[in-house]
Amino acid sequence: MWISTAQKFAKIAMNNQSQQSARVILAIIGIALFVGIGAGLFWLATTSGQSVGVLLTFAAGLSMIFLPCTLPLVFVIVPLTLGKSPAKGFTMALLFGLGISITLAIYGVVVSQLGGYFGLDNFTRYMFLFAGTIAILFGWSELRFIRFSPPEFAGASPSWLQKRGDYAKALGMGVLLGNAGVGCPNPAFYVILTYIAGLGSVGVGAGLGFVHGLGRAVPILAIVILALLGMNATKWVASRKANIDKIMGWSLVVAGAFILTYGLWGMRWWEDSIFHVSWNQFVLNIAPALAETPNHPIAAGAFDGPTWIGWLTWIGVILLSIAWNWLKKKRASATSVIVSLLLVILGLLSFAGVIETKHGHGVETDHAHPPGVEVEHEHTNE
């Protein structure tokens, strides 16, 4: 008995020591990532005349974390990794980033074959429709509204991933949500797309797209490391697992509805809103090379419609989910009622045209192309 008890304590001590070592390693990696992010952003914002290459492509990916289309991804992957061991949480974040990179590599191939930004229209339309729908279904599954596990993805993933549901989920989320931000290009990203389209090389398109995806993933990975180091994960999450699942579920519903609306009605409903324009103007005033490109082409959706219909679609999916939650629980929380009222008000304001800006996504600026990016050639395919 005493020997058995001693063995248990020894295992616990070894496990704690292993966890502590993993946290130290994560801290070192996190510091290195934040230093690299800072250096990359400083280089992108201050260096003039850089031509398209691996460094510019990666740095452009780093800067995408500041755009309102990309930042919400943090609220999906962070809850997904909480409660896991440092090693497992870090691996899940890596797989999420790999998924983003895979999606951007696919976009790079498509751009190389179809031409410039407008050549993406048909492809992105269907990608948005598919990815948005799947993300919403994943969100409803996390909220326990439905049971959803796409067999197509499970069958196509490696066998070691199929046996590890959390890993497969992280990779799948990265692939699906890698679509976010495609419609919000900063100057460097737009120049990269133009360069890939002009070169017409599948290999270069896939390679630069993948590198750009890695750049997008690095800030998200750094934030995940902060979250993993900032708490005693096991004890903290054990008492809050239900709330964490809710956060991730609702984040997926909101992000999925956003992407789905992009596919249905295009991007103008968001691009021309005061929320998007104000944030982008703020970033543009601070560091023009990090902001979204003013007057960039806006992809169309599967259907044509006024600006407000995009807002009503996005709001409608969220309100439907809230109502479904009320029916499941047979009660309405004060928070959900307040959020619903705010969404209804937002819908009415959009219908009245209050949140649509006069200048739209053009953002008042003297820079046709902000400094720090060399445009070798520009063209659009009608």
DSSP result, 183-220: TS--HHHHHHHHHHHHH--HHHHHHHHHHHHHHHHHHH
Q: What percent of the chain has pLDDT over 70?
A: 70
pLDDT the model gives residue 5 = 45
pLDDT the model gives residue 182 = 61
- Are 92 and 150 a contacting pair, CB within 8 Å? no
pLDDT of 14 strictly over 60? no
Distance between CA atoms of residues 110 and 299, nearest Å: 15
Q: Which sign, positive or negative, has the C-alpha torsion 140, 343, 216, 357?
A: positive
Query: Largest Cα–Cα distance in the chain?
Result: 79
Residue of higher predicted confidence among 2 and 293: 293
> Nearest 10 degrees: CA dihedral of 125, 170, 72, 53?
-70
* Strands of the chain, DSSP E: none
Q: What is the pLDDT of residues 294-330, one digit of tens each?
A: 666 666 788 888 889 999 999 999 999 999 999 998 8
Residue of higher predicted confidence among 206 and 153: 206
∠ at Cα 76 (167, 339), nearest 5°? 150
> Which amino acid, 20?
Q
> Who contacts 245 (Cβ-Cβ below 8 Å, separation ≥6)?
79, 142, 143
What average pLDDT does range 150-166 have in this prediction?
50
What's the mean pLDDT when you consider all of the chain? 76
Distance between CA atoms of residues 159 and 182, nearest Å: 30
Distance between CA atoms of residues 257 and 265, nearest Å: 12
pLDDT the model gives residue 378 = 40
Distance between CA atoms of residues 120 and 128, nearest Å: 11
pLDDT of 6 strictly over 50? no
| Range among 72-86, 131-145, 174-188 rated most confident | 131-145
Q: What is the pLDDT of residues 131-140, one digit of tens each?
A: 788 888 888 9
- Of the pLDDT bands very low, low, confident and very high (cuts 50, 70, 90), residue 151 is very low
Say how many CA atoms lie within 13 Å of 247 toward its Cβ.
17
pLDDT the model gives residue 2 = 42
Question: Residue 331: phi, psi to the nearest 5?
Answer: -165, 160
Q: Which sign, positive or negative, has the C-alpha torsion 49, 118, 297, 41?
A: negative
∠ at Cα 61 (59, 64), nearest 5°? 115
What average pLDDT does range 60-78 have in this prediction?
77
SS3 call for 356: strand
Distance between CA atoms of residues 56 and 344, nearest Å: 42
**Domain map (residue ranges) of the chain:** 21-362
Per-residue buried b or exposed e for 310-342, using 16+ beta carbons within 10 Å of the residue's own CB: bbbbbbebbbebbeebeeeeeeeeeebeeebee
Distance between CA atoms of residues 42 and 239, nearest Å: 41
pLDDT the model gives residue 121 = 61
pLDDT the model gives residue 368 = 38
Question: Residue 127: phi, psi to the nearest 5?
Answer: -65, -45
Distance between CA atoms of residues 359 and 337, nearest Å: 34
pLDDT the model gives residue 178 = 81
pLDDT the model gives residue 20 = 76
What average pLDDT does range 362-373 have in this prediction?
41
| Range among 75-84, 127-136, 370-379 rated most confident | 127-136
Alpha helix ranges (H) inside 187-306: 187-199, 202-229, 233-238, 241-265, 268-271, 274-286
Instruction: Name 356's bridge partners.
Output: 273
pLDDT the model gives residue 351 = 92
pTM beyond 0.85: the answer is no
> Which amino acid, 117?
Y
pLDDT the model gives residue 343 = 96
pLDDT the model gives residue 57 = 87
SS3 call for 352: coil
pLDDT the model gives residue 318 = 96
pLDDT the model gives residue 349 = 94
- Residue of 121, 90, 79 lying closest to 268 (CA atoms): 121
- Comparing 196-205, 246-255, 288-297, 348-357, the range with the smallest average pLDDT is 288-297
Q: What is the pLDDT of residues 345-359, one digit of tens each?
A: 999 999 998 988 765
